[in-house]
Chain A
């Protein structure tokens, strides 16, 4: 789903090219692997909901980590590092949105629930409803709601990731939540 399947020669070429001296990146490979394993699923989910397009999220994910590695910033903590990652993801999703402006946001209808058994149809329905409702929200509203209720981010973390004043998050979040709740209840907001 990410990129085409790699052939043996592709891998050999990449290995040969990567075998040279490492260029300066923000962390070493082992640290990066661990950090990626901890964060990539969340970042992908965020990008997917922000753009409404899982395939675009696949592409953007790689860019997010590349930019993160090249940022050359020093991070005080894991949370700081994670916030920075989400800020990069937000900016890339915003750029992608601007590039695709005028084209309606894609609503993924091919949702395959991972859970089996109880309430599968209900889950699919709720996800489809969410996808359709998110289309009517502004990108910043989508991002804010996702960070608040999927990621459980604090107002300060949301402000950091979205580049808004911490003081205004409360009001913006209230409005976005109001709007989405209205849409999910079928009120249209």
Chain B
């Protein structure tokens, strides 16, 4: 592998950074740089970066540290609020899905026209792919017809709880 660094590199850099390069640098160092490809690259690159760095530092108009601090605080608070609300959002989604599921089950178990239509579609489908649509077990039909009112009330409670939770969280988010 060819040489990738030169022992005089640090001396050359020091000369550049102390503004001694090239005029006030030691003649030996200048002679070395003239014959060393690595140090020649260093003197081609380092002064340009140093000058550019100083220009950039002087040119930039930075925002106030307080403003950055405020924004960091706000962002951190918003993130914390989002993290806190995440389980509630999941609970809302589960509640909503459960409410829809219960309502659908009640509808399916009580609407005779729906059951007839389902049987008809199931018959047509099983004729094509030799598969039988499972019928709703009689126990479940009995349960729904006997306690249907309670199940409807439960579904309504689910939906109301979900909506209440959503409204409470929304108000809390507005306050923060």
- A-to-B contact residues, CB < 8 Å: 1-3, 6, 14-15, 17-18, 20, 22-25, 29, 32-33, 36-37, 40-42, 44-45, 48-49, 54, 61-62, 65-66, 69-70, 111-115, 123, 126-127, 129-130, 145-146, 149-152, 170-171, 174, 177-178, 180-181, 184-185
Contact = CB atoms under 8 A, between A and B. Distances in A.
A15 B71 CA distance: 10
A20 B77 CA distance: 10
B56 interface: yes
A32 B50 CA distance: 27
Interface of B: 4-5, 13, 17, 38, 40-42, 44-46, 48-53, 55-63, 65-77, 79-80, 176
A151 B57 CA distance: 11
Contacts of B65: 32-33, 36-37, 40
A18 B71 CA distance: 8
A41 B57 contact: yes
Contacts of A54: 60
A44 B56 contact: yes
Contacts of B71: 14, 62, 66
A66 B72 contact: yes
A111 B49 CA distance: 15
B80 A23 contact: yes
A66 B41 contact: no
A180 B47 CA distance: 13
A184 B44 contact: yes
B17 to A, nearest CB: 7
A150 B52 contact: yes
